[in-house]
Amino acid sequence: MQYKKLEVFIVLFCTSFLVNAQKLELPVWQEGFLDIHHIHTGRGDAAFVVMPDGTTMLIDAGDMSETHARTHSPRNAKLMPNASKTAPQWIVDYIQQFAPNQQKTKLDYALITHYHDDHFGEVDTLRTIAKGGYQLTGITEVGTMLSIKKMIDRGYTDPIDLKDSSIQSLDRYAKDKYQLIPTLKEYWKFIEHQEKKGMKHETLNVGEKKQIVLTRKPDSYPDFSIQNIASNGVIWTGVQNKTYRLFAKGSFPNENALSNCIRIDYGPFNYFTGGDISGIDGLGQMDLDAVESHVAPVIGAVDVATLNHHGNRDSQNPYYVRTLRPRVWIQQNWTADHPGEEVLRRITSKALYPGERDLFSTVMLRGAKEVIGGQLDQYKSQKGHVVVRVAKGGSHYKIYVLNDASETREVLSEFGPYISR
């Protein structure tokens, strides 16, 4: 009889262990789901999107130089999950874990929001040279390991021509310690080499809904679309594909303001991501002439939004926050500078918009915790990959936080379901 009880105990224990083990894994993507993975490598932004029919897209591939003292200072995050691979290699490893089976070795789209190291890479003396003759960093390394069908960026001629030698000789570029122009030159070599192998290269066409589309079963999901909102300070009006320009040709506000911005719509579900656009001026006041203020009316209320410029103090102005009023804010972070305390106050303010809102960050560094303190307790999670999973048809969604310190990326926590608006 005691043996019987022991057998029952062992069976129950094993069953419980297996159930708990299953709970640790992110449920496998199924056709009809929209998954948006915010990948944390400690070296910048990267978001992997699996659309309802299995079409895939990578938004940004940050990769900072390992030769900068800043990169290894307490100000910056560590390379995650460890230093056995480069940040782009970890991005590829992540994609190959969670991509649909037919998409393990390729991407339908890659979108670069703008040309900063934490979004597309940075050259340095440690980089490997690819067979195509370009340095492997950020998107060039990802695009060498995975074939990309269509590469989309903001171009290089608007509002100034970055291939013009007189532009390249300006102090802002010639003395740039983060080497934007040298990195761009490697990126252009990458594009030229990959185009010979069949990759298409395009600039984001503002106002369009047909540039980034479902490639496998578009007729099965007519309520899914990606709307191009802004690029190079060119803003969609919200009417057909008409646009207007913020920055005159020949002017250059800064690279952040030129970021590509898109809204993903799936039935009632809406998601916005805008690179490093901002809305607060140099005096700390709301800037109604900034990109945030201009895109807010055409974006409208959304369910999920990433924090522009990682939550930097120049972003998330009151008008923008009040207009988008997301249920979920996601911070793609890598530095103790983020979030700005005033940004946190704005995005959590019930005076700007009523109702609940949940905050998630891919990392929160000690410096931010020491300065901001208990206000950061408002975040549901401060560490890990953040996954948005939208149900078939877009009626509701969940947030999963995955372990960024583990190569298996088990689920640490689950939130929702949230009802789409």
Q: 303-315: string of b/e by CB count within 10 Å (b at 16+)?
A: bbbbbbbbbbbbb
**139 neighbors 121 (Cβ within 8 angstroms):** yes
Percentage of the chain exceeding pLDDT 70: 95
Domains, the chain: 34-419 (3.60.15.10)
In the chain, the largest separation of any two C-alpha atoms, in whole Å, equals: 89
- Under the banding of pLDDT at 50, 70 and 90, the label for residue 203 is very high
Question: Residue-wise over 129-152: b if at least 16 C-beta within 10 A, else e?
Answer: ebebebbbbbbbbbbbebebebbb
Task: Give the chain's radius of gyration (CA, Å).
Answer: 22
Cis preceding-peptide flag for 74 (omega within 30 of 0): no
DSSP result, 138-202? THHHHHHHSEEEEEEE--SSSSS-TT-HHHHTSHHHHT-TT-HHHHHHHHHHHHHHHHHTT-EEE
Predicted TM-score (pTM) of the model is 0.94
Please report the pLDDT score of residue 104 as a whole number.
Answer: 87
Q: Which DSSP helix (H) or strand (E) runs through 266?
A: strand 261-266
> Tell me, what's the pLDDT at 410?
98
pLDDT tens sequence across 56-94: 999 999 999 999 999 999 999 999 999 999 999 999 999
- CA 164 from chain center: how many Å? 30
339-393 per-position pLDDT tens digit: 999 999 999 999 999 999 999 999 999 999 999 999 999 999 999 999 999 999 9
